[in-house]
A and B are shown apart, each in its own frame.
Chain A
């Protein structure tokens, strides 16, 4: 009896969550401990579209007619520009990309996740980063401090194949102070 009541309630909360404009960031610590939160829709956060290279998506555009080759190898014909510097020793393409559904990724469990939800894939190893990201501590956030906050996907800042944050050119250094009558760039 109790169970039959709960299911529609949970479903209703899913649909409500999908239509609401700003799903609040879930408090990961408390909810994870209590184990109340369903794993899928509730955790889906509003993110901008993933940063694909131009013309690369959908992957099925090319891959649909190709038979998946599951042998680990160095790619030569295509995607040979991708250099994996992300624990390359232990992993290759199909550890994250799904061979059967080319437009998806998959978790270690085999569960398929879309590119919009790729943070779940990253969070399998980088759990503490995922926790901080959901709380708004890791990563860049824009929007309002008291209202609608916008997230970015991990891949917006970290190239998944080479995740180390790229060095930047710094903006100009401040000018050192100048005494009245002194010419800039001189000591007198």
Chain B
């Protein structure tokens, strides 16, 4: 028997026209998402944008109000959710079983995914080692710090070697070292094992570094989607060049103002961010800047960041007044 989900063809997630309403509240409005297999996808958005609802629907635990197509790992989720779940690991903002040990938390989930007892225990030990929790494996989770619990939640999502992993704010509570290790792990596994990661996060710098594609969700609608740099350029249509003079140089903003194509100059700490009028003004500006009588440490294009794009798309969006998580 051939399992469509294991063939590896077609996108990991293919959704068309996904809408969800809770009474008068529209949580998702005609959302389209196509996520290739092996991608690290980041769903970005303010609190209440509809991220949790999207994850719940894509896992078949919440019914959409309407949807044209909802395929996950090659299966129509409306009819074949049972075939999808064994291939998916989910870490959301939920809790662990506090009165069980770390090892018991992992091995119980392994068995729920169909592993036999020895396999589930061995996988639990493997994950405890991977997340640096081996020494605490026999301890009740209630004694764990927030960061340790977060590691265990992520480990739990990986227990059955899933082909698709949902991670909700995975680095919340983790120290910078652990966050970096996690991001490295995600990149490695997505490339080597072709595992697809679906991450929701507010840490835009991390998302920019790890994601191969992102989508910005706001008020239940996808505002932009694509590779992070593409989303950033489309959302922030500016051309910026960073000019860094040698330390101690007497270069001033005034020296740059008269150069061709310059629109605006921001003085930074020891450097200048020069916004140009158009992209085709870059070559003539670069020629002019290097011709100036100052020693330069660097002249480089400074593309817009994902954070700038996010703020441009979403703005200072307040959380929903009713506090409801959608």
The answer to whether A and B interact is no
B residues touching A (Cβ–Cβ < 8 Å)?
none
